Copies of this chain bind each other. A is one copy, B any other.
Amino acid sequence: MSTETTDTRQPETLDRVVIRFAGDSGDGMQLTGDRFTDVSAAFGNDLATLPNFPAEIRAPAGTIAGVSSFQIHISDHDIVTPGDVPNVLVAMNPAALRANISDLPVGGTLLVNEDAFDERNLTKVGYESNPLDDGSLSAYRIIQVPMTSITLEACKELGVKPREAERSKNLFALGLVSWMYTRPTKQTIDWIEQKFAAKPMVRDANVAAFKAGYHFGETAELFDHPFEIPPADLEPGRYRNITGNLATAYGLIAASQTSKLPMVYASYPITPASDILHELSKHKNFGIRTLQAEDEIAAVGVAIGAAFAGALGVTATSGPGLDLKSEGIGLAISLELPLIIIDVQRGGPSTGLPTKTEQSDLMLAMYGRHGEAPLPIVSASSSSGCFDAAYEAVRIAVKYRTPVILLTDGYLANGSEPWRLPDVDGLADLTVHFADAPNHGDEFWPYLRDPETLARPWAIPGTPGLQHRVGGLEKQDGTGNVNYDPENHDFMVRIRAEKVARIANDIPPVLVDSDDGARVLVLGWGSTWGAITAGVRRVRARGKPVAHAHLTHLNPFPANLGEVVAGYDRVLVPEMNLGQLSKLVRAAYLVDAESLTKVHGLPFRAAELEAKILEMIDG
């Protein structure tokens, strides 16, 4: 890499760095971050990312509301979070500076596009004086670069209109940062060239800007030397970088293949779940039928119909859509058909904070249907973990003939990390056996259950002699005929609950990562995994014993959870809600699970967990 440059200055080696790119929603910060991520991934660093953008498509230029940022944590060792605070903040304009500077620790590096610090932009965000001059930033290592002008300069020859050229300044920033951290340049240039192949002008401007930024680093005396973050030695294998939504889509495709059930994916667009629809609709050669429904109610209805017909019925949404699917999910519970409902959680209640993350739909997933309507709930703990979580959701759904809710969230969905590719042939076989003959003398009883799983037979249309009708009215166990008998209803309500409860025997016990002498257990679920793990590592680094257990299955709970929580003096449940899992644990095991709650639309910081855990250990 550094061979690529004529630079003589030797890079200094770091074990990790956290960089945050911040600018206007129009400045292309997400693209900049994505590029830096791909290069760093391919380079072999471990990494984690945190995109953060406004709900508006294009919030007003130059305003705080319009600021978009992308934080990336790269390291030479295994890491689990995008980092609490950045070491380097790239601020493309005053708004980006104002919105992010408070996160930059004293001594941190601040890279600014000084061209953007004019009167208008400054006043827009309420700066009386220019912070670049008034000394108010003296606590930081400021690097001012006239990114816009240099970019324009670099593009002059190309005949690009200035307004156009100016748009390439984010690639200048990328080039500069790429030099600072000795990232290979070829991959980025190749990407630009094929991405903008159709628009030669834009392509050339972007390449020019990128190179200009890289060379600026080399030549400018602003930096005494670049830095280097060596590759991390991760588990051997083939890796790729992946976001949670992509991993979810791949997990579904994999399960569709191993179950030999063609997928019918019906969904209504909603942030942050839409990308799953976008991804799946690309892979029609896997036999995936995607339908953009008129609304979420139709989407779940389509998936249910597809399941009855023998397909893998899947629908995904976020909170508001899950509300609307409630009645349909209740029907699927009554029909006892396999169905996958994915909720990519976002900030609520109501429309709330559509582009921010939250864990506040657990109770809705658990209880959001009238009547006694239990169903299994699976959750993902990391972006790449969405693959396994989706696969597990399908496994349970098809084996137990039940709808399953998979909970992910906006942070997992949009964040990314390296993923070690699974061995495709090693995936569990999910083959389904459809009923093909009468099961009760010469009759077919659609509700005659498997004695072990309590699952009912799945007989699909086209199968001669197995014609049957299913519906939402209470039905007689066995025959499935409509039945209003009081005892039968009581029996059915209990057996549907029992069927879900028995899944506890078919899932792994929850693993506890516990130190000897640990008195405090940190119990988490979902995307808090990274922050909790990092927090626990810090506590251990201080030589204090602590235990961490993280749930993938939220209903039913793993069979050993009761023992586990009983085994510690104190149980801490950190959640990005007001304490939903803790309520479930308290009710189930009567242990005084304590909540650490944060509802900021952003993930926890390792430091927050470290502090709380220490307080509990010492306090």
A371-B367 CB under 8 A given contacts A327-B323, A490-B600: no
A55-B348 CB under 8 A given contacts A358-B371, A370-B319, A587-B583: no
Instruction: Tell whether A331 is near chain B: CB-to-CB under 8 Å.
Output: yes
- Binary contact readout A361-376 vs B (1 if CB under 8 angstroms, 0 otherwise): 1011011111111000
B-chain residues with CB within 8 Å of residue A171 when the two chains form the complex: none
B-chain residues with CB within 8 Å of residue A601 when the two chains form the complex: 484, 486, 489
- Binary contact readout A349-366 vs B (1 if CB under 8 angstroms, 0 otherwise): 111111010101101101
Query: Complex Cα distance A367/B586, Å?
Result: 16
Stretch at the interface among A109-117, A193-201, A468-476: A468-476
Q: Which of B320, B343, B471 is within 8 Å of A351, CB to CB?
A: B471
B-chain residues with CB within 8 Å of residue A600 when the two chains form the complex: 486-487, 489-490
Query: Complex Cα distance A367/B324, Å?
Result: 14
B-chain residues with CB within 8 Å of residue A353 when the two chains form the complex: 473-474, 484, 489
B-chain residues with CB within 8 Å of residue A350 when the two chains form the complex: 327, 330-331, 333-334, 371, 373, 472-473
Instruction: Tell whether A598 is near chain B: CB-to-CB under 8 Å.
Output: yes
Instruction: Tell whether A446 is near chain B: CB-to-CB under 8 Å.
Output: no
Residue pair A349, B364 in contact (C-beta under 8 Å): no
Residue pair A327, B327 in contact (C-beta under 8 Å): no
Interface set, chain A 549-605, CB cutoff 8 A to B: 577-578, 583-584, 586-587, 590-592, 598-602
B-chain residues with CB within 8 Å of residue A583 when the two chains form the complex: 587
Residue pair B351, A361 in contact (C-beta under 8 Å): no
Instruction: Tell whether A347 is near chain B: CB-to-CB under 8 Å.
Output: yes
B-chain residues with CB within 8 Å of residue A586 when the two chains form the complex: 586-587, 590
Who on chain B is nearest to A354 by CB?
B473
B-chain residues with CB within 8 Å of residue A283 when the two chains form the complex: none
Instruction: Tell whether A494 is near chain B: CB-to-CB under 8 Å.
Output: yes
Instruction: Tell whether A322 is near chain B: CB-to-CB under 8 Å.
Output: yes
A356-B484 CB under 8 A given contacts A55-B473, A349-B370, A373-B349: yes
Query: Complex Cα distance A590/B583, Å?
Result: 10
Residue pair B356, A372 in contact (C-beta under 8 Å): no
Q: Which of B319, B370, B486 is within 8 Å of A371, CB to CB?
A: B319
Instruction: Tell whether A61 is near chain B: CB-to-CB under 8 Å.
Output: no
Told that A320-B330, A349-B371 touch, could you supply 15 new A-B pairs with CB distance under 8 A? A54-B484, A323-B370, A330-B348, A330-B349, A330-B350, A331-B351, A333-B349, A352-B473, A352-B474, A353-B489, A360-B372, A486-B600, A486-B602, A497-B578, A590-B591
